[in-house]
């Protein structure tokens, strides 16, 4: 039995449908029963902050997709909440006899890294030391962020980009889910880390050009320096340290840190990852 955490998120929703297509036995973990019913699949209500509910959700489970919310603002340098939650989940999975965990991490997870980079690295190390068979997925930037608006658009609908508009190898969450499905249903990828990217790297100006064509109206790009980004976040009430960390990651993207492409999606799924054009065609209703 597979347990899918983050089942209502950008990756989990696609994974639920993929596992249904494969007729693989699975349960979706949700915090809200209404959202569970909306998925149209078996589900269990549980919360990472409720150890008893997690223990109950893990009964009879042998494989898990471990995924959840990303980095969040904290107070006075406190640890990212997802670290304690996922470490406790891994420990609970070990006690429950889970055989494999497929963890969704981030590209460039590293010791001392800012926000999600450092937090995911710490979780990765705990998972590797747990005795549970593991696989790691480290995706590039999500194409879905362009229709959810997560940190992508300014108030007037323009795209925001680092001042140095370096390309990013955006990936469709559909492809991340397809890779996860392989690792959850086949005996492949044990002890391996997969860096998941799209087939091409695009600057924000190139993304804006494709969106302009789809929407039949101009989509502009606003370049923000790291200092500009930090000031905007602080003005929105974000804690200063969190804003500074986001700004540092913003500057890193501007150096091309997410520009490389890898063959890992095709290696796992035997399918080429979707291009941004294909993503827009498939999801054009979200944009219109």
Q: Could you tell me the CATH number of the domain that includes residue 103?
A: 3.40.50.720
Terminal CA-CA length for the chain: 39
Q: Which of 173, 223, 135 is nearest to 15 (CA)?
A: 173
Q: Cα(120)–Cα(106) distance, rounded to whole angstroms?
A: 7
The verdict on residue 242 lying in a domain is: yes
Q: What are the CB-based long-range contacts (under 8 Å, 24+) for 202-210?
A: 202/167, 202/168, 202/170, 202/276, 203/161, 203/165, 203/166, 203/167, 203/168, 204/159, 204/160, 204/161, 204/165, 205/161, 205/165, 206/167, 207/146, 207/159, 207/170, 207/276, 208/159, 210/276, 210/277, 210/280
pLDDT of residue 182: 98
The verdict on residue 149 lying in a domain is: yes
The verdict on residue 66 lying in a domain is: yes
Q: How is residue 225 written in tokens?
A: 């320096």
Number of domains present in the structure of the chain: 1
Q: Cα(259)–Cα(201) distance, rounded to whole angstroms?
A: 6
pLDDT of residue 47: 95
Give the helix, strand, coil percentages of the chain, each rounded to 5. 45, 15, 40
Give the residue numbers spanning the domain of 200.
Answer: 2-283
Write the CB contacts of 225 (distance below 8 Å, at least 6 apart in sequence): 162, 163
The owner of tokens 């990472």 is 48
The verdict on residue 229 lying in a domain is: yes
The verdict on residue 88 lying in a domain is: yes
Q: Are 234 and 243 in contact (CB under 8 A)?
A: yes
pLDDT of residue 246: 80
Q: What are the CB-based long-range contacts (under 8 Å, 24+) for 213-219?
A: 214/280, 214/284, 214/287, 214/288, 215/287, 215/288, 219/157, 219/158, 219/159
The verdict on residue 258 lying in a domain is: yes
Q: Cα(200)–Cα(172) distance, rounded to whole angstroms?
A: 12
Q: Cα(72)–Cα(90) distance, rounded to whole angstroms?
A: 20
The verdict on residue 58 lying in a domain is: yes
Q: Are 203 and 271 in contact (CB under 8 A)?
A: no
The verdict on residue 288 lying in a domain is: no
Q: Are 183 and 244 in contact (CB under 8 A)?
A: no
Divide the 288 residues of the chain into consecutive groups of 10 and give the mean pLDDT of each group: 95 96 97 94 96 97 90 59 93 98 95 86 97 97 83 76 90 98 97 98 94 91 85 80 80 88 98 96 83
Q: Cα(285)–Cα(97) distance, rounded to whole angstroms?
A: 43
pLDDT of residue 77: 57
Q: How is residue 230 written in tokens?
A: 């930090």
Q: Are 103 and 137 in contact (CB under 8 A)?
A: yes
The helix (run of H) or strand (run of E) holding residue 103 is strand 100-104
pLDDT of residue 98: 98
């Amino acid at each position: 039995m597979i347990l899918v955490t983050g089942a209502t998120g950008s990756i989990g929703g696609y994974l639920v449908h993929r596992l249904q297509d494969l007729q693989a036995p699975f349960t979706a973990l949700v915090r809200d029963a209404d959202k569970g019913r909306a998925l149209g699949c078996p589900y269990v209500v549980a919360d990472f902050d409720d150890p008893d509910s997690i223990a109950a959700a893990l009964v009879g489970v042998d494989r898990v997709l471990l995924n959840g919310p990303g980095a969040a603002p904290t107070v006075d340098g406190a640890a990212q909440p997802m670290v304690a939650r996922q470490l406790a989940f891994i420990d609970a999975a070990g006690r429950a006899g889970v055989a494999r965990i497929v963890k969704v991490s981030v590209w460039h997870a590293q010791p001392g890294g800012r926000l999600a980079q450092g937090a995911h690295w710490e979780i990765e190390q705990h998972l590797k030391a747990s005795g549970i068979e593991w696989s790691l997925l480290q995706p590039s930037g999500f194409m879905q962020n362009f229709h959810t608006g997560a940190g992508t658009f300014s108030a007037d609908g323009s795209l925001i980009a680092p001042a140095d508009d370096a390309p990013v190898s955006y990936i469709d969450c559909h492809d991340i889910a397809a890779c996860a499905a392989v690792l959850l249903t086949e005996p492949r990828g044990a002890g391996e880390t997969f860096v998941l990217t799209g087939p091409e790297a695009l600057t924000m100006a190139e993304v804006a050009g494709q969106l302009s064509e789809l929407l039949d109206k101009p989509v502009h790009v606003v370049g923000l320096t790291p200092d500009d980004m930090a000031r905007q976040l602080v003005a929105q009430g974000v804690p200063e340290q969190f804003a500074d960390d986001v700004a540092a990651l913003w500057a890193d993207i501007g150096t091309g840190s997410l520009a490389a492409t890898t063959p890992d999606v095709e290696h796992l799924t035997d399918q080429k990852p979707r291009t941004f054009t294909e993503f827009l065609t498939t999801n054009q209703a979200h944009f219109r």
